[in-house]
A = this chain, B = another copy of it.
């Protein structure tokens, strides 16, 4: 018997973050090819589809499990990204979501990916044609960059253990 019961909030986990995307092909290509995540589950509704992605390492001992097994395990891990696609938005050239960082609609800020080698990561982003909002050498905060995802959500790229600089 443990002192922590199953209803203790200490047993909770921060499972996922969800935002809407206009074109899942563009978004999944970005999160898989540029950022290295894996899409391990797709859930279809009548007029929407949700895609669940994350880093294989977040499955711990199950990092090399099949996608089907990962889909079953995904509620037991942290740091899943859910991309919600409302069917048809990809065909409307005027349609766009709010990133959360402009008026109106300010609230949500960004997700952050931490990397071992920020300089190498940014070189690779350049080779892939990724658009930067802020390069490491711009501004005071040299240990971070910001890139845009296909919907113009901000993605912070942070050097792991970069805490000796400003936040």
CB atoms of A75 and B161 under 8 A apart: yes
Complex: chain B residue closest to A116, CB-CB: B6
Contacts of A18 in B (CB 8 A): 108-112, 156
Q: Write the nearest CB–CB distance from A161 to chain B, whole angstroms.
A: 6
Q: Does A17 contact B (CB under 8 A)?
A: yes
Q: Write the nearest CB–CB distance from A162 to chain B, whole angstroms.
A: 6
CB atoms of B17 and A111 under 8 A apart: yes
Give the dominant DSSP class at A's interface.
mixed
CB atoms of B113 and A55 under 8 A apart: no
Q: State A98–B160 Cα separation when bound (angstroms).
A: 30
Q: Does A43 contact B (CB under 8 A)?
A: yes
Q: Does A56 contact B (CB under 8 A)?
A: yes
Q: State A50–B111 Cα separation when bound (angstroms).
A: 14
Q: Does A145 contact B (CB under 8 A)?
A: no
Q: Does A90 contact B (CB under 8 A)?
A: no
CB atoms of A57 and B167 under 8 A apart: no
22 pairs, A vs B, C-beta closer than 8 Å: A7-B116, A9-B124, A10-B36, A10-B55, A11-B36, A12-B55, A12-B113, A12-B121, A13-B113, A14-B54, A15-B112, A16-B111, A17-B111, A17-B112, A18-B110, A45-B167, A76-B161, A78-B79, A79-B79, A98-B98, A100-B107, A105-B107
